Chain A
Amino acid sequence: MPRNDPALPDPDVAVPAGETPGGTCPHCERPFRSEHARDLHIGEHHEPAAAERERYEAALERERDDLWLFHAKAVVGLGVTYAATVILYSAVIGGFF
């Protein structure tokens, strides 16, 4: 889907002195701390070449795995928070505090 809406401008970046970026975008020269971020950026913002596309898909695959784990934690966190809130309210209304 081409972006037909006004795009946000590219943000300012600064690499700390003495640090070598993990990767630099060959299309827009933007530095990244990791190759993973660089590969995702190329796939999201540029027209990737065949090798770049392969790396992008590998990076996406890794994101999916990590995201699954993150979502599992988030759902457990929500459940625990909800249960704790209900228990807390029962305790307060029941006069334990």
Chain B
Amino acid sequence: MDREREPVDDRSPAGKRETGAERAGRTAGLAATVALALWALSGPLAGRASAHAGSLGGSVASATVPTWLVVLTGGIVVGGTFLFTTLLTDHEAMRGVNWWRFALSTPGALRRTVRVAAGAGSVALLALVVWTGVTGTDDPTRDFAILFVWAGWWAGYTVTTYLVGNTWPLVNPWRALVAAGTVGLAATGGRLADAADRSLPDSWGVWPAVAGLLALVWVEVVSPVGEEPRLLAGLVVAYTLATVAGGLVYGAAWFERVDPVSRVFAAYGRVAPLQWTDDGLAVRLPATALTEDPLPDRPGEVAFVVALLWVTTYDGLVATPGWETAVEPLVDAGVPALFVYAVALLAGFGLFVGVYRLAARRIRAAADTYVTAHAIERWFAPALLPIAAGYHVAHFLGYFLGLSPALVAVTAAPLSPPLNTAVAILPGWFGTVKLLCVLGGHVFAIWVAHSLAFELFPGVLAAIRSQYPSVAVMVFYTMTSLWVITQPYGPPPFV
């Protein structure tokens, strides 16, 4: 593909070739406009959210704006961002932004040392989690296993995978155990060592990971595994046995296609600025790596991304008062609560997949193209990942920060934790931060989808028109997730 010729390269309305500086200046100008508009639109939102959070400062200073207006404003910001993005039509400039990278040198010796140290450290931490889970106290805010797994790892560490980079392959204790086990088996001539001829059926694709993710979130929501150290230790041991056995039998394919945890971090890691490339480690602008690598053509790849988006929504949804009201009659009528939770989980997942597939078909019609709907689903799925990340940070950052003093205190002495641990009370404006995180995820998603559309469809207008269905879905989804976030939190009822 060669784009050297001048007229081919040129889409500027003035019909003359722009210099790089002019183009950069124009892009920067538009970026500034977008930022300004976002700020202007989010100004009233900020005032309201602090009031909503009920802090003293907020309730004294700002007028009361109802939740519906906060939610509506979110939808307006996403729609407005789309309109702004349509003004950016210089494909070469977009590629300049999306392909920018700064290579970091990573000497081989350093890589090997870090890998060995991180692997050993992670296995030690895993052992400590199991030990403190089995022997620990019944008070979850003093137990290392509970605090480390839920606040430190599931909330805090996950945030680093999309804000910094996916370090999970490095610090995955199960991968380290599998690596050690493989070496050990090879040394003793064990049978499992010739795992190369065992493989998962191709037709399964990554569906095992989709099922695993849904199951994991269901267990997390319905069982007291977030409060009872012994139950958590049992779950960790069971997970360790399954993962190590799977890894020994199926090798790396296990972590790529079955292990839901590795898949989650790999998916989130695609949003991050730190990326592994063929040439080593590189720093990129956030989310721009998503505009380059389409999902592999395997069954379940799109479903996994959609599932990732859905499970975080589900996690928030079941903690709202509205959920309790909706489920109460069913539970009163004698339907087992666990069953209700499972059906809701699967039905919501089905709904999300259905809406996404419908949007892909509408995109096909809007862009007036022969590209198959299946290819469109795969092509635009990476754009969902910043939304999932933005929603995840909104959902979990407060939880992580609130428990972080306890986590620090208990980590300092995991075997004999202090009698009382502190929990941080977050300031009222933190509610605004959460709303802005959700909106930020959608803004990145619009940029990614816009860039991907320009790569897929010829010209400018077909690419812009192709975005109408996805923008409509995004506006609706933003409003739904903002509504969930502005609801008062209560533990999932009836379980």
In the bound complex, what is the Cα–Cα distance between A66 and B99 (angstroms)?
28
B93–chain A nearest beta-carbon distance, Å? 11
Q: Which residue of A7, A8, A74, A97 contacts B83 across the interface (Cβ within 8 Å)?
A: A74
A42-58: CB near B (< 8 Å → 1, else 0) gives 01111110000100110
Q: Does B37 contact A (CB under 8 A)?
A: yes
Q: Which residue of B3, B11, B292, B376 contacts A60 across the interface (Cβ within 8 Å)?
A: B11
A15–chain B nearest beta-carbon distance, Å? 5
Contact B11 A5 (CB under 8 A): no
Contact B99 A47 (CB under 8 A): no
Contact A81 B459 (CB under 8 A): no
Residues from chain A with Cβ under 8 Å of B276 in the complex? none
Q: Which residue of A5, A40, A68 contacts B458 across the interface (Cβ within 8 Å)?
A: A40
Contact A92 B461 (CB under 8 A): no
In the bound complex, what is the Cα–Cα distance between A1 and B233 (angstroms)?
56
Q: Does B375 contact A (CB under 8 A)?
A: yes
Residues from chain A with Cβ under 8 Å of B83 in the complex? 74, 77-78, 81
Contact A12 B87 (CB under 8 A): no
In the bound complex, what is the Cα–Cα distance between A63 and B456 (angstroms)?
17
Q: Does B455 contact A (CB under 8 A)?
A: yes
Q: Which residue of B8, B41, B371, B461 contacts A48 across the interface (Cβ within 8 Å)?
A: B8
Q: Which residue of B9, B65, B73, B371 contacts A12 across the interface (Cβ within 8 Å)?
A: B371
Contact A89 B369 (CB under 8 A): no
Residues from chain A with Cβ under 8 Å of B2 in the complex? 2-3, 47
**Which chain B residue shows the least CB distance to A74?**
B83
Contact B370 A13 (CB under 8 A): yes
Contact B456 A11 (CB under 8 A): yes
Cβ < 8 Å to B, chain A residues 7-47: 7-9, 11-15, 21, 30-34, 36-38, 40-41, 43-47
Residues from chain B with Cβ under 8 Å of A59 in the complex? 459
Residues from chain A with Cβ under 8 Å of B89 in the complex? 67
In the bound complex, what is the Cα–Cα distance between A6 and B462 (angstroms)?
23
B99–chain A nearest beta-carbon distance, Å? 5
Q: Number of contacting residues on A, CB 8 A?
A: 54
In the bound complex, what is the Cα–Cα distance between A40 and B368 (angstroms)?
14
Contact A57 B7 (CB under 8 A): yes
B164-190: CB near A (< 8 Å → 1, else 0) gives 000000000000000000000000000
**Which chain A residue shows the least CB distance to B96?**
A1
Q: Which residue of B4, B13, B41, B376 contacts A1 across the interface (Cβ within 8 Å)?
A: B4
Q: Does B346 contact A (CB under 8 A)?
A: no
Q: Does B84 contact A (CB under 8 A)?
A: yes
Q: Does B69 contact A (CB under 8 A)?
A: yes
B78–chain A nearest beta-carbon distance, Å? 11
B495–chain A nearest beta-carbon distance, Å? 38
**Which chain A residue shows the least CB distance to B459?**
A40
Contact A13 B464 (CB under 8 A): no
Contact A43 B8 (CB under 8 A): yes
Contact B69 A67 (CB under 8 A): no
A94–chain B nearest beta-carbon distance, Å? 9
Contact B87 A71 (CB under 8 A): yes
Contact B370 A31 (CB under 8 A): yes
Residues from chain A with Cβ under 8 Å of B79 in the complex? 81
Contact B292 A12 (CB under 8 A): no
Contact A81 B66 (CB under 8 A): no
Cβ < 8 Å to A, chain B residues 34-89: 37, 40-41, 44, 63, 65-66, 69, 72-73, 76, 79-80, 83-84, 86-87, 89
Known contacts A37-B368, A59-B459, A67-B89; decide if A81 and B76 are in contact (CB<8 Å): yes
Known contacts A2-B4, A78-B80; decide if A70 and B464 are in contact (CB<8 Å): yes
Q: Which residue of A31, A36, A93 contacts B63 across the interface (Cβ within 8 Å)?
A: A93
B3–chain A nearest beta-carbon distance, Å? 5
Known contacts A47-B2, A56-B8; decide if A5 and B292 are in contact (CB<8 Å): yes
Q: Does B113 contact A (CB under 8 A)?
A: no
Q: Which residue of B9, B80, B95, B371 contacts A82 across the interface (Cβ within 8 Å)?
A: B80
Contact A70 B462 (CB under 8 A): no
Q: Does B238 contact A (CB under 8 A)?
A: no
B66–chain A nearest beta-carbon distance, Å? 7
Contact B294 A68 (CB under 8 A): no
Contact B368 A63 (CB under 8 A): no
Contact A11 B372 (CB under 8 A): yes
A-B contact list, 20 entries, CB within 8 Å:
A2-B3, A5-B292, A7-B1, A8-B455, A8-B456, A31-B370, A40-B459, A41-B458, A45-B458, A63-B459, A63-B460, A64-B11, A67-B460, A68-B13, A70-B464, A74-B87, A81-B76, A81-B79, A82-B40, A85-B76
Q: A3-B1, A13-B369, A64-B13 are in contact. List 5 more A-B contacts (CB 8 A).
A: A2-B3, A5-B95, A11-B456, A12-B375, A46-B1
